[in-house]
Structure 1
């Protein structure tokens, strides 16, 4: 049975002979009620504090549970992150390895293509060079043949022209010899006639002209001189002094005046 301070204050005891003093009992009850009331207040305060502390403890427990759950979640997340990071790293390494292998294969293929293209280009250049060199050799040989043919043709033309010129010069030389022989014959006849005229009309007081001789033949140069020997031409007869009768001596009055005779030397 629980007693409250109010119950203690209003507690009544039965009256008996030889009992306790009322005032003392009442004072004790009042003190007891005050003390009980104080104890109850303290107890209530403690209960309130215990309730608050229990609430705080519950909150701390809840926080601890949340922290524990957070730590567990963090550990799980960290483990998952480590596993994910490891898987991603493995995937990245595998992808990088695959890309590296692909790049190496592409580089090798590109290198093989470049080498094949380079070899094909070298082969084409070598074939073009050989073809061009053969064309140049053929052109050079053709030019040499054409030059030799042109030289032979030019030499033939020069030989024909020389032969024609030599034949023409020989013909002209022969004609000149014939004309010279005719001239020499006429000249000798003329000299003979002049000698007769000079003998007929000679003047004693005039001295005789110096004896001259005609040249043996015309002066020749080049091949014509080789074709004609001056020793083969006939030598003209030496001329004695002679005179030439001028046209004035043959006029009608030539008998009335002395005959005018001009001495002429024939070269």
Structure 2
């Protein structure tokens, strides 16, 4: 529970328009296979007063649309994490153009859907990653557990690039596979300056999850990164597949200790994304 007057920043939410942009991961069989707009989000906000809007389509067209959505959000969306083809020859120019929009805070390659685990370390991507750092943009890393051993090298190669791991690298909570995820993410936290998002955990748990199902991973992330490098995100509307935004927010408020709550639920996201 937040204290009186304390607001929350949602560091990870989406909108999408099926038919306008390409969402190869969003199958027709999914209950969230429909359009989602900020108007759908607003009734759920409660004490959330700012969000970071994150790409869901690997297209520049969607990123341009997200910028428009953010600028017309009446101050709700304080940052956009877009998409750039990091392997393109003109990636540097595309990144420079994105950086002219102060609402844009970073980019996210969808590495979780790229079969090659080591893709982000390809040499041809290095100039784009350096361009991100040069322009003060961040890299959201949509990591899976298989990517965690690579993140130390990524951070070492690009020490001035601000990195945040989305969804705690998606630990397989439903299967009870705490290791090697716990060991690998602890090492990333210990040996790099990476930040991490406390988001996406419910969709990795059983459909009937309880607080105790999430607690080991949540506490481990907090122990590893500390409240000053951990930020809460709803992952709305994907979270609707696992109990919904309100249920996840209330669980996080119960599970995050009172002394860490202001940082995890607000301050860390503001500082990392310069909101």
TM over 0.5: no
User: Who wins on radius of gyration, i.e. which is larger?
Assistant: 1
Q: Highest relative contact order (Cα 8 Å, sep 6+), 1 or 2? A: 2
Question: Per residue, is there more strand in 1 or in 2?
Answer: 2
Question: Per residue, is there more helix in 1 or in 2?
Answer: 1
Q: TM (normalized to structure 2)?
A: 0.15
